[in-house]
Amino acid sequence: MKDFAFHYGPRVIAGAGVVARLETLLPEGPVLFVTDRRLIDMGLATAPLSALSEARRTPIVFDAVEPDPSRDTLEAAVARGREAGVRSVIGFGGGSPMDVAKLAAYLLGSGDALDDIWGVGQATGSAIPLVLVPTTAGTGSEATPVAILTLPGDEKRGVSSPALIATHAVLDPLLTTGLPRAITAATGMDAMVHAIEAYTSAHLKNPVSDMLAREALRLLSTHLLAACERPADSEARAAMLLGAHLAGVAFANAPVAGVHALAYPLGGRFHVPHGLSNVLMLPHVLRHNMAAALPLYAELAPIVDASLAGLGTQAQAAGLIEALAAMSCAAGMPQRLRDVGVDRDHLDLLADDAMLQTRLLRNNPCPITRDDARRLYDAAL
């Protein structure tokens, strides 16, 4: 066995209704509550905000987080927290609020400047206590040391450092039971991509991340359609939330790769939801990787589709791609880039943008050149 290191991430609190215990995880004093306005309007945050107030953890609500959050949004959140003298941070929502919360907690605690911490391992200071509460079962952001912002020109740029890892992750399936089908499908498939790419990552793949990726993929593939068809199915929702978290822990240690690298430009340029962007590029990047990752795809295939067990390696790997495509179709997701507003005139721009994702491309089992990226976008069109 090769030498490896593994970081398990935040302490996990899981169960129906555990969001009511947030105040027990935080020091006394004001807390920056980072979320988005939609979740406030839906009433999901009402109970935890009331409980925090009653427990002398005065919530300072910052609800201006948008999809693909900007630098300006992060800086506004930090300014709000600094002005109020917050002692901790809660990220409540999908990947966008949680990413803003991670960076806000770090910047408030360390005093570092954002421009000094871009990239991998540059954030070496200390954050103030951070609790992350996902309201979708997909990004796994509550488990990871990564936060992504969208800069001017629609460039995606990230910070990756153990200093961004939350103190606690709170997994409450009741927060996800009202998710619309489209969001359930996109976020669930996003988490499946996390598991697949962690399992095949060219860097830092290890036995522990492999174990978590396999279990994440089992939970997600078994329960995705049930969660889509029966939104209030608490068992399916809990399994999806746990699967997404395990996939997050896996890819926090064995990082994602080419699917994400080609998905990010679709979000940045066309504002395609991140999970859907991954789904649109998934089969094409997997086919591109076959020369290097075929045995690994074959190992994952029976987890997604039990009927593939016992087939030859090549048939299993091909069957995995077909099973994933069939699942995304059954969940009602768009299947082609043209369905989300991309046409042939955009391919060069997307390929150029994808080449900026060096942090991700280096993890892919097979190299992806600019010509490869353009070809893969064309195949997805």
Q: Over the stretch 125-155, which tens digit does the pLDDT of each residue have?
A: 999 999 999 999 988 999 999 999 988 877 7
The predicted model gives 210-233 an average pLDDT of: 97
CA distance 205 to 364: 11
Confidence of residue 1 (pLDDT cuts 50, 70, 90): confident
The whole-number pLDDT of residue 68 equals 86
Task: Identify the three-state secondary structure at position 86.
Answer: coil
pLDDT for 56: 87
- Start-end of CATH 3.40.50.1970 domains in the chain: 11-175
CATH 1.20.1090.10-classified regions of the chain: 181-380
**What's the whole-number mean pLDDT along residues 240-250?**
97
Mean predicted confidence (pLDDT) in 72-100: 97
Q: Tell me what percent of the residues of the chain surpass a pLDDT of 70.
A: 100
Superfamily of domain 181-380: Dehydroquinate synthase-like - alpha domain (1.20.1090.10)
For residue 154, what pLDDT is reported? Answer: 75
Overall average pLDDT of the 117-122 stretch:
93
The fold of 11-175 is Rossmann fold (3.40.50)
Residue 174: which pLDDT band, with cuts at 50, 70 and 90?
Answer: very high
Separation in Å, CA 108 to CA 22, 57, 62: 20, 17, 15
Q: What is the mean pLDDT of residues 97-118?
A: 97
| Mean of the per-residue pLDDT values of the chain | 95
pLDDT band of residue 107 (cuts 50, 70, 90) is very high
Q: What is the pTM of this model?
A: 0.94
Q: What is the pLDDT of residue 156?
A: 82
